[in-house]
Structure formats: structure tokens, C-alpha cells
């Protein structure tokens, strides 16, 4: 099973709203990722969790707040977003970086976020 699930599929929110994106994987992976993807561009890394600890924050604004409650779940809390934050938000998982272990990342279907 190489499935990563994300909810919701679509989200429309106002600039004063608070919402959360959810991601789940059952592949036993211990690294999880959030990416942001604008139209016709490659995904841009936002955060990396390794063994449930935040290991990389790509200078993401604090209006995006990640959380990893356990090894299978990853959340992205959103607050006071701007219209330019509208994008496809992708979650991925992999084995964590260690020696020659395969680090293939498997992506979820994404959440299409529109900020009005």
C-alpha cells in the first residue's frame, strides 16, 4: 500500500478564518512533508518532520503551523492567510534519511486551497 490520503480535497477560506489540512499514511514511514504548489510550477518544500520532530522549516510564514501528532498523521494549521497563499498543498511521506535507505517520497492527492 503506497497511499497517502489528504483531507479536505478542496477548501475555500476567508483571510480571517482558521482551518486545518490533514494528511495520513499507513506505510510505516517516519518522515512526512508539506509542499506548496502553484499552477504549472514544481512543488516547493515547506516543512519536513522526521520521527515526529520538525527537522526542516523552509522559512515559511508563521500563519502556517505544522503539527505531527503521531507517526501516521500530519496536520497543517492555517490562520490569517493571504490570497497569494492559494495553491495546491501536497503532503508526502518517505523513510527518513539514513545511509543508503530508499527515500522515495509518496504524495497524497493534495488539497486545493483558495483564500478569498
Task: Report the C-alpha gap between 116 and 11 in whole angstroms.
Answer: 11
Contact set for other proteins, span 91-110 (CB under 8 A):
92, 94, 96-99, 102-110
Helix (H, G, I), strand (E, B) or coil at 83: helix
Shortest CB 48 distance to other proteins, Å: 5
List, in order, residues 6 or more apart from 62 with CB less than 8 Å away: none
Q: Which is nearer to other proteins, 43 or 85 (CB)?
A: 43
Query: Does the footprint of other proteins cover residue 57 (CB under 8 A)?
Result: no
* Binds other proteins by CB under 8 A, chosen from 50, 74, 86, 115: 50
Q: What's the Cα-to-Cα distance from 90 to each of 62, 96, 99, rounded to whole Å?
A: 18, 18, 26
Question: What does the per-residue mask of binding to other proteins show for 8-37, with x meaning CB under 8 A?
Answer: -----------------------x-x----
Task: Report the C-alpha gap between 100 and 60 in whole angstroms.
Answer: 29
Three cell numbers written together for 88: 495546491
Enumerate binding residues for other proteins (CB under 8 A): 2, 4, 6, 31, 33, 40-43, 45, 48, 50, 55-56, 88, 90, 92, 94, 96-99, 102-110, 112
Amino acid at each position: 500500500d503506497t497511499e497517502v490520503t489528504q483531507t479536505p480535497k478542496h477548501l475555500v477560506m476567508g483571510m480571517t478564518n482558521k482551518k486545518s489540512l490533514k494528511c495520513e499514511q499507513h506505510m510505516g514511514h517516519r518522515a512526512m512533508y508539506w509542499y506548496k504548489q502553484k499552477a504549472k510550477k514544481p512543488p516547493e518544500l515547506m516543512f519536513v518532520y522526521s520521527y515526529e520532530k520538525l527537522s526542516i522549516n523552509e522559512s515559511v510564514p508563521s500563519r502556517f503551523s505544522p503539527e505531527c501528532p503521531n507517526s501516521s498523521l500530519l496536520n497543517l494549521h492555517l490562520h490569517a492567510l493571504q490570497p497569494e497563499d492559494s495553491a495546491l498543498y501536497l503532503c508526502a511521506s518517505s523513510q527518513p534519511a539514513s545511509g543508503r535507505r530508499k527515500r522515495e517520497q509518496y504524495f497524497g492527492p493534495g488539497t486545493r486551497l483558495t483564500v478569498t
